[in-house]
Chains A and B, each alone.
Chain A
Amino acid sequence: MYDEMYDGAKTRNEYKIIADWIAREGIEALLTKQDEAETLFRRIGITFAVYGEGGDPDRLIPFDMIPRVFGPTEWDRIERGSIQRADALNAFLRDIYGPREMIRAGKIPEQMILNNEAYEPVVQGYTPPLGIYSHVVGVDLVRVSADEMYVLEDNCRTPSGVSYVLQNREVMSRMFPELFESNMIRPVDGYGDMLAEAMQAVAPPMCEGEPTLALLTPGHFNSAYFEHSFLADQMGIELVEGGDLFVDNNRVYMRTTQGPERVDVIYRRIDDAFLDPKVFRPDSMLGVPGLIDAMKAGGVSIVNAPGAGVADDKAIYTYVPEMIRFYLGEEPILPNVPTWRCADTEDLKYVLSHLDELVVKEVHGSGGYGMLIGPSATRDEIAAYAERVKADPDGFIAQPTLSLSTAPVLTENGLAPRHVDLRPFVISGKSTRLIPSGLTRVALREGSLVVNSSQGGGVKDTWVLNTEAPDA
């Protein structure tokens, strides 16, 4: 099993700063600082809301103080690989909602698209400014060895978690300023500007002059509301709810105390289904009637565009390496995890006879729910899951159980290895870019592979060094 910090007994070069720091502070002292960190998070207000479970709905995501570190060479590969992936996914979306060349070339079955719940027929024929559908793509990566990183899944709709990336850094630099005095750690401050710039770059055709931007949230009861208000603040734009907006003559306006004010680009953090009750769910109270027509008429740009989700479900995922070859003429820099599609008869046969060693997932599942982790499942669980797969083979995919890398976390008994993943956030505007960091999620339960915050996952500050750390 690959450990991010230690190579056997030896500390990896890029973690020298961390090892020195832990030795200097001592585990005991660091443990007492954990409380201080928690107070800081609460004061800044970084919580996610969980309703219906009783108690205080404002929860803190557990924060582990030991940062995760990448050297510049390994980061360079992650950066290039993530950008390549985002570019290919946007090319795919442009194609699917346009000429469908990949289908005509026989590289992906048409049913995969048309039967996909996330495919939005209303978007067919609409090409957003710069041809970008998914302006923010979250690429979930796992590592199994020094040189092997895999893409576990793509998030093309409204990937969340970037506020933790920025706030984890803020808290670490407030508590341990000396760590950052080395000037070795690349800053993450540019995210808000980068996103605002991308939004300005995709101003709709009807917009003259500087576009007005806004962030559309479902409201303060949403679990990610903190992130919405934080990002709006970072970009210096209004945080609006559906009720604040209305459409007139294919332009969108906010209701303000000084009368209606036009909005040109909307970063929406609500799902497609709720965006526009005239087109999607008619019972939606969160959306804006007429928004989709306004978008198609060129009166407003929506970030990420509706229908972008067709590129990120777990069945489409298996075709992404092919997209990279087809649209970019390149080989994937970051490979997919080998995946069996249960929709395929041969694959299904293999999956059913190897359930005890595979991870099986629902094609449309998310949040780590509804999956089977073969090696740790009981025989009854496997048998029950087999029935579900047989009943709806199209709904499942399977992957080998990867030996995810571990990184040390702070526990009462000292440092202990826990499994981690990484989600960089790729932004597409005039160019495709990302900040030098990402969301490191860590499975805090010993032996657990599930990093989702809803199931006992925590987060770490994630560093990228600006020069290769010297050999000791």
Chain B
Amino acid sequence: MLSRTANGLFWMSRSVERMENVARLLDAGRRMESLPQPDGAKATEWGSIVIASGCRTTFPAPLDTASRANVPLHLAFDDTNPSAIRSCARAARENARAMRTALTSELWDAVNLTWTDIRHRDPHETLQGRAFTDFLDWVKSRGALIRGQIDATLLRDEGYAFIELGKWIERADATARLLDVKYHVLLPHSSDVGGGLDYLQWLQLLRAANSATAYRHLYRRNIDPEGVIDLLVRNPRSPRSLATGTQGICGALGAIGAHTAAQRATHTHAQTLRDQTAGTRVADIINQGLHEWLTDFIGALNTLAIEIGDAYGFDGHTVEPTEAVAE
């Protein structure tokens, strides 16, 4: 398969996953915003959403002015923000269009119609009141539809494996970022740790990850940080945990196969990351500090993604030097 095709499928898939995850983050912000605040406390949830989405550099205003009025707009409709929901829908569609012959018409329709629908939406109308939650639900359902078409109509070939690879890398990244939101949402007083507000914030995070009910099924106790970390980091039964994500990456790489030394090396690195993630104890994470641990994980995942791209020849923007020697 052409490296460019692998690149297109990989980024189509990542864009769809990111589109959906940004919607989840906005949902988390919306839920936390509605929590009761003690008098005089400064709301920090929207700023934390900007940080968690990785959009700190594109956000056009100082972070302490982040609010319901400017964050959803930037994360959903700001065309200068490549991670905005609309930008992701466009990127997914452009990649799909360039790879049109590698897709089924059902999958193409799902990706194409997502873009044609969102491109004409009025941002202010869409983000207002009740329409906002409907919009977030719509984005998640489009993500689900596209994944469904991938699952139901696509040949299980190398192209499919690159789509899976993109999905799992993006999802692991998103779950780590979602968990990190909790670090950035400040509690008014240090004594509030373990208190009612703390509990409610953890609960909203789980809800944004569609995992609140699963938590009760799996742990049969009230929500606490140890449980949430275990579920979203280590638990292989969660569809969004880091363990599941890194296992998914290894599975996709296995389906793609390793043909060169560089490719074999990335497979080993992916397995190392998977084993480390699944083998970490919650107590270790808390001792290191959740934020510090997540920062390391996000960095390692990013390094792995770049390494994989290099090994399979889809660095995207670098052009092979003219006198390049074939391997």
Contact = CB atoms under 8 A, between A and B. Distances in A.
Contacts of A229: 100-101
A45 B326 contact: no
Interface in B260-290: 260
B324 A244 contact: no
Interface in B130-167: 158, 162
Contacts of B2: 238, 240, 244, 254-257
Nearest to B162: A257
Nearest to B99: A220
A51 to B, nearest CB: 13
A239 B1 contact: no
Given A257-B256, A259-B260, A244 B4 contact: yes
Contacts of A243: 4, 319
Contact of B101 (A43, A233, A240, A258): A233
Contacts of A468: none
A253 B101 CA distance: 21
Nearest to B259: A258
B300 interface: no
A331 interface: no
Contacts of B257: 258
A248 B101 contact: no
Contacts of B324: 246, 248
Question: DSSP class of B's interface residues: helix, strand, loop or mixed?
Answer: loop
A232 interface: yes
Given A240-B2, A259-B260, A260-B327, A45 B100 contact: yes
A290 interface: yes
Interface residues of B, number: 27
A241 interface: yes
Given A244-B3, A257-B3, A220 B98 contact: yes
B252 to A, nearest CB: 12
A257 B313 contact: yes
B320 interface: yes
A71 interface: no
A161 interface: no
A289 interface: yes
Contacts of A260: 326-327
A129 interface: no
Interface string A219-260: 110000000010011000011110110111001011111111
Given A248-B324, A256-B2, A219 B312 contact: no
Contact of A289 (B4, B322, B326): B322
Nearest to B316: A243
A247 B313 CA distance: 16
A219 B94 CA distance: 12
Contacts of A254: 2
A299 to B, nearest CB: 12
Interface string B308-327: 00001110000110111111
Nearest to B159: A257
Contacts of B323: 248
A309 to B, nearest CB: 26
Nearest to A254: B2
B295 interface: no
Instruction: Please provide the 10 A-B residue pairs with the shortest distance between their CB atoms, ordered closest to farther.
Output: A260-B326, A220-B98, A255-B3, A258-B259, A248-B326, A289-B322, A257-B312, A255-B313, A246-B320, A257-B6
Given A241-B4, A256-B1, 7 more contacts: A243-B4, A248-B323, A248-B325, A255-B313, A257-B1, A257-B162, A257-B312
